Amino acid sequence: MKSIGALPTTVNPADGSPRYTIPAIFDDSTGVAIADSALIAEYLDKTYPDTPALIPKGTCAFQSAFQELFYSKVLPIWILTVPDVPESLNPRSAEYFRKHRAIDFGVPSLDVMRVSGQAKEEQLKKAKGVLGDFDKVMKDGDTWVMGDKPTFVDFVIASVILSVKIVCGKKSEEYREFMSWHGGRWSRMMTILEEKYSTVEL
């Protein structure tokens, strides 16, 4: 991150030292390095105005407030996914993830977050309630939060749901549950986003 000139996005809670996080991009066309998803979206909108806007003009405050609100509600989903993330990482990354995510969540280790059986069912029920609160404020025919086009906040929601697919598995009970909720709204969203945006064309 330092080598490409990306700035730290936050500080380590333990000692206040700079903390570098992903996502991050380096734009070969301009020589600019950007970290933090919202800042990346703003940069892409400004630098490439002929592409679909992730943060439409006049909606920056809404997008930011929505993201903050959404992340403040999704602990039940993190409980279902975060403890198992290290299983898909290389040993060095797994060690780092276990240590620093435990600090982030204020627990002695990620293992104490892991749930099974009835406890998992309770977290799934809570997760459904979280997404249900956002489903209630969207119109029945809308796939996207702001209506007819995907914007930054749709990718915020999708990134959290995608973590369930990646960590738990596409055929897992957890992911099938998510895809069935609220009239299949999240399934439609994920299908469109993955078909259109999950492939990088070089």
- List pLDDT tens digits, range 143-185: 999 988 999 999 999 999 999 999 999 999 999 999 999 999 9
**Arithmetic mean of pLDDT, 89-98:** 94
- pLDDT, tens digit, 9 for 90 and up, residues 117-146: 999 999 999 999 999 999 999 988 889 999
- pLDDT, tens digit, 9 for 90 and up, residues 187-199: 999 999 988 887 7
More confidently predicted of 13 and 174: 174
For residues 114 and 102, give the distance between their C-alpha atoms in angstroms, rounded to a whole number.
12
Containing H/E element for 2?
none
Residue 181, pLDDT score: 97
Residue 56 scores a pLDDT above 90: yes
* pLDDT confidence band for 76 (50 / 70 / 90): very high
Residue 14, pLDDT score: 76
The share of the chain scoring above pLDDT 90, in percent, equals: 84
DSSP secondary structure, 83-145, as one string: GGGGGGS-HHHHHHHHHHHHHHHT-S-GGGG---HHHHHHHHHHHHHHHHHHHHTS-TT-SBT
The share of the chain scoring above pLDDT 70, in percent, equals: 99
In the numeric block, the tokens 């806007």 are attached to: 53
**Arithmetic mean of pLDDT, 61-75:** 95
DSSP secondary structure, 140-192, as one string: TT-SBTTBSS--HHHHHHHHHHHHHHHHH-TTSHHHHHHHHSGGGHHHHHHHH
> What are the residues whose beta carbons fall under 8 Å from the beta carbon of 7, sequence distance 6 or more?
35
